[in-house]
Structure 1
Amino acid sequence: MQKFDVLIVGAGMVGLTLALALRQASQLKIALVDSSAVTELDESIDVRVSAINVASKNIFTNLGVWSAIEHSRVQDYQHMHIWDKAGLGKLDFSAKDSTSWPPEDNLGWIIENKVIRHALWQQAELDEGIHFFTDNTLASISHGDSEVFATFVHDNADESATKPTPPIIAKLVVGADGANSWVRRQMAMAMIFKDYDHHAIIATVECPQGHQNTAWQVFLPTGPLAFLPLKSGQSSAPLAGKLCSIVYSTSPDEAKRLTALDASEFAKELTAASDGKLGDIKLVSERFTYPLTMRLAQDFVKDRVVLIGDAAHTIHPLAGQGVNLGLLDAAALAQTLTAKLSEYDESYAEFVNVADLKAFSRWRKSEASEMIAAMAAIKQAFAPQPSPVKLLRGIAMNILNNFAPAKNHLIAQALGIKADLPELAYQKDTL
């Protein structure tokens, strides 16, 4: 039997962030369970990327991992260009127009998921209070009044199998294990689902005109297409400033048609869809597609189990805020669990406070709900509309583009600068 204070299921970006945040603020003993161990970084560029905003960058900085991330492959961007394919509307955002304090040079950063996870994992391995379990998968979790009991799968019929991993006892279990969360299913935690009727196509492309340190997004009749600027590796130096990650959200039928095209025909479709603003595009990676579903847990907390990140909520990727929401969940939960530790004895015999966890659930569910509603409103606004509505939409976008107060508010939202952030999401000198 192994005893820990917190068992985190899922050592992705969100789970690792939680582990580091807890250890920075306490001496809690952490178990991290994930069947997929981190691998060493190589020159291959991951198709899976995240748009990291200033709040998330502050979290990484305060946890001491930003420098490692920054010295790998990180692409900053200072501009966003958004336009309506079916109309004349456009929006242009620039970091220099931000009125935030302290001032920001960038609107955000596009970073490969594996780069972020590698930096977090390396930092966690240096902490003796964080223990990794990557050999076996969990079989079950059950809870009592003051503890949670977790067991691992072991194949008794396999004589070559390693020695069974002893069960874990913890005061709290955190499900950070993604959209198809095993923890959520084990605990029968109710979810609200809505099919967005979109599939996302992701890939890496070469743009001869260069990305210009700009995040590009065009709203097509079938859905949004984003070109996110990417950093090239040393082996692809000739492509410096020319690589983008695409996120093409479209109807299932259109996604099926597009992925069936050969590479050159698919690239031609991207060039036409983007009005040639980035040149004659070339596909330089495989294409991956997956269905988009809105998920929201009815409650992020049940007994001694908490859900964070995609295990608690998933949203449409059109604003690139999914990972940022999850990182804020991790920072908020760490703050909630450690805020009153001084009130308990040094052994942390009981640090799980039901009222505090319920407050955490309300806090994070409220923001996730607001983001889900905003994504739904944007998606609906750019759905196919009669010509008069498209004209009005374009006029509204152009008015907004020239109305500084409204633009400044949208820039602040893109930066992740808002009220009621966890302390880790602020720059240290502004705490």
Structure 2
Amino acid sequence: MSDHSQQEFDIAVVGAGLVGSTAALALANAVPNLNIVLLDAAKACMALADHSTATSVDDFDPRVVALTRDSQTLLQEVGAWPLLEAKRLCPYTDMQVWDAEGTARIAFDSSDIQEHNLGHIVENKLLVSALSERLTGAENITLLNECRVSEIQWLDGQQELNLQHDSDKPVTHVRATLVLACDGALSPLRQMMQIATREWDYGHDAIVTTVETDKAHQGIARQRFISTGPLAYLPLSRGGEGDSADEHFCSIVWSCIPERAEELMALDDREFSKELAAALEFELGDVKAVAKRFRIPLRQRHAREYIKPGFALAGDAAHTIHPLAGQGVNLGLKDVAAFVEQVQYAVTRDVPVSHYSILRRYQRQRMADNLTMMATMEGFKRLFGSKNISLRWLRNEGMRSLDKVGVLKNKIVRQAMGL
């Protein structure tokens, strides 16, 4: 990582989370002569080399992502994937989905499409740590931590960012030809640029935690649709030697109506474990241990535009969706891949990276894909959240029929995996 004090850059990436860090690394990898700055309000991420093996539910990050093959490829390109493999990640070979209001079940099996797995479950903290390690060795990336963008303005063909530091340092200024905002769902930069959003509450809260179950998860991701909301058990690996399928740790994402969420959060660990095991119909036996629970209100949000002169949004700053299919981070990484592709396109044609035609190409490509995924997730939520008898019959028959049509089912799996 460069340590020079230059305050003019080609591209400024704001937000050093999963999407922002990947964007900075991917840009540096794709166009080595770019001068990039990565800005973040938090302190620099510490390496987690000593936490490669987990022994209890408390060792896991409650926030996990289900990475698709597309996301894996991008992380391999920036050099983060081997670091994840050296820590811990869990491939899942199967996915089972069923409806509590019927008898239908769909089983997706990676062997049916001649793949080793359907994807990988990775803890957020390990992914951020791996990306942080890669940033340390990036020559054309300057990392500025503990600073917040207090103002942004377009001056003489560049964006000027005023940075407010957490220390007693005075306000500093950074100028960049192009700014990529990856600063989260409540993106301050999006608000500064006066980009409107369309948003609404899902009427659900997500309870997230980590559990240890009586039976091994066998590398299977399980999702059960309950009348109050979907419940997902995502397999985790403790790391180290051994078969990750013969493990008993799972990440839990239980989406439910606020009243039910309040009831569940009020239970002690013993009673909550009983409710959790019963909600999955004891597929993995009893829940033996549960980590601290977190309750997160769910809200869909989509920016009405992704670009302004010399400015673009990516990741949660542009869109947030229901965690139903675990696609939020994957969509953000697809934003990154598209953004990098357009920057490369501009550089090879000697066009300024901030040229509006370049940014429009990025917006066209990503907005259509993100809206399609958001509409699909909203449709699933409405379909499985309905108590209408006709809809319940329809979704059960649909699931049963889809499970029997191997060609169509496999096509859906391949598309979801990015193959």
- Considering the TM-score relative to the shorter chain, is it more than 0.5? yes
- SS at structure 1 position matched to 2:210: strand
CA gap of 1:242–1:123, structure 2 versus 1, over 3 A, is same
Matched letter for residue 143 of structure 1: W
Q: Deviations over 1:200-250 (max 9, x none)?
A: 110001111111100000000011000000111569999961000000011
Contact 2:309 2:354 in 1 (8 A): no
176, 188, 194: which one aligns with 1:170:
176
Indicate yes or no: 2:273 matched with 1:262: no
Q: Deviations over 1:292-339 (max 9, x none)?
A: 111111110012110000000001111011100000101110110121
Aligned equivalent of 2:14: 9
Contact 2:217 2:246 in 1 (8 A): no
Aligned equivalent of 1:197: 203
Indicate yes or no: 2:38 matched with 1:40: no
**Matches of 1:196 and 1:124, distance apart in 2:** 36
| Structure 1 position 285, deviation (Å) | 1.0
Contact 1:82 1:92 in 2 (8 A): yes
CA gap of 1:227–1:115, structure 2 versus 1, over 3 A, is same
Aligned equivalent of 2:411: 409
Give 5+ residue unaligned stretches, structure 1.
Answer: 156-160, 418-431
Indicate yes or no: 2:57 matched with 1:57: no
Indicate yes or no: 2:143 matched with 1:132: yes
Contact 1:198 1:252 in 2 (8 A): yes
- SS at structure 1 position matched to 2:24: helix
| Structure 1 position 384, deviation (Å) | 3.2
**Matches of 1:259 and 1:196, distance apart in 2:** 19
Indicate yes or no: 2:326 matched with 1:320: yes
Q: How does 1:15-414 map to 2 (within 5 A)?
A: 15-26=20-31, 27-36=33-42, 37-41=44-48, 42-43=50-51, 44-98=59-113, 103-154=114-165, 161-164=167-170, 166-233=172-239, 241-344=247-350, 350-414=352-416
Matched letter for residue 133 of structure 1: L
Matched letter for residue 16 of structure 2: A
Alignment root-mean-square deviation, CA: 2.0
CA gap of 1:321–1:239, structure 2 versus 1, over 3 A, is closer
Aligned residue pairs total 404
**Matches of 1:415 and 1:238, distance apart in 2:** 20
**Matches of 2:75 and 2:7, distance apart in 1:** 30
- SS at structure 1 position matched to 2:46: coil
CA gap of 1:405–1:239, structure 2 versus 1, over 3 A, is closer
Contact 1:268 1:280 in 2 (8 A): yes
Identity score, percent: 39
**Matches of 1:282 and 1:319, distance apart in 2:** 26
Contact 1:136 1:165 in 2 (8 A): no
Normalised by the length of structure 1, the TM-score is 0.90
Contact 1:17 1:331 in 2 (8 A): no
Contact 1:232 1:239 in 2 (8 A): no
| Structure 1 position 65, deviation (Å) | 1.8
**Matches of 1:343 and 1:332, distance apart in 2:** 17
Contact 2:213 2:289 in 1 (8 A): no
| Structure 1 position 104, deviation (Å) | 2.4
**Matches of 2:168 and 2:286, distance apart in 1:** 53
Aligned equivalent of 1:420: none
Matched letter for residue 90 of structure 1: R
**Matches of 1:273 and 1:385, distance apart in 2:** 18
Aligned equivalent of 1:428: none
**Matches of 1:216 and 1:12, distance apart in 2:** 27
| Structure 1 position 182, deviation (Å) | 1.0
